[in-house]
């Protein structure tokens, strides 16, 4: 079965910083230069990067290769990404039921 939709179908990748005090600037430059992927949203130690469906696997491999970041989930909508980030924050603070 082929891929749905047009060639530029978007994918949002949720990334968690293992060392949040260092920020996402180094990752921004790597992903922008290599894949033309951009950070679209940041909150605390989480960021959301935008890429297309064909580069998704390569972008995830590059993020995980750095050792300072890890991917949490990939989604087709920013709304779902923000919901996942909210749930992740609640789990760690102990308020998740």
Task: Please report, for the chain, the start and end positions of each structural domain, with discontinuous segments joined by +.
Answer: 10-93
As a whole number of angstroms, the distance between CA 77 and CA 85 comes to 13
Predicted confidence (pLDDT) at residue 74 exceeds the cutoff of 90: yes
CA 58 to chain centre: 13
Predicted confidence (pLDDT) at residue 60 exceeds the cutoff of 80: yes
Average pLDDT of the residues in 9-21:
93
What's the pTM? Answer: 0.84
Q: Which fold has domain 10-93?
A: Alpha-Beta Plaits (3.30.70)
Owner of token pair 């960021």:
47
Average pLDDT of the residues in 44-54:
94
Q: How confident is the model at residue 6 (pLDDT cuts 50, 70, 90)?
A: low
Residue 1: the pLDDT is: 53
Q: In this structure, what token pair is assigned to residue 59? A: 């972008």
Q: For residue 53, how many other CB atoms are within 10 A of its CB?
A: 17
In percent, the amount of the chain with pLDDT more than 90 equals 72
Closest CA to 73 of 10, 13, 31: 13
Element (H, E) at 84: helix 78-93
């Amino acid at each position: 079965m082929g891929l749905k939709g047009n060639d530029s179908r978007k994918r949002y990748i949720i990334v968690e910083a293992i060392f949040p005090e260092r920020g996402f600037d180094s990752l921004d430059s790597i992903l922008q230069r290599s894949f033309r992927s951009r950070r679209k949203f940041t909150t605390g130690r989480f960021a959301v990067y935008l890429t297309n469906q064909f580069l998704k696997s390569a972008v995830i491999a590059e993020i995980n290769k750095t050792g300072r970041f890890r991917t949490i989930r990939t989604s087709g909508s920013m709304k779902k990404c923000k919901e996942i980030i909210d749930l992740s924050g609640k789990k760690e603070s102990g308020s998740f039921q």
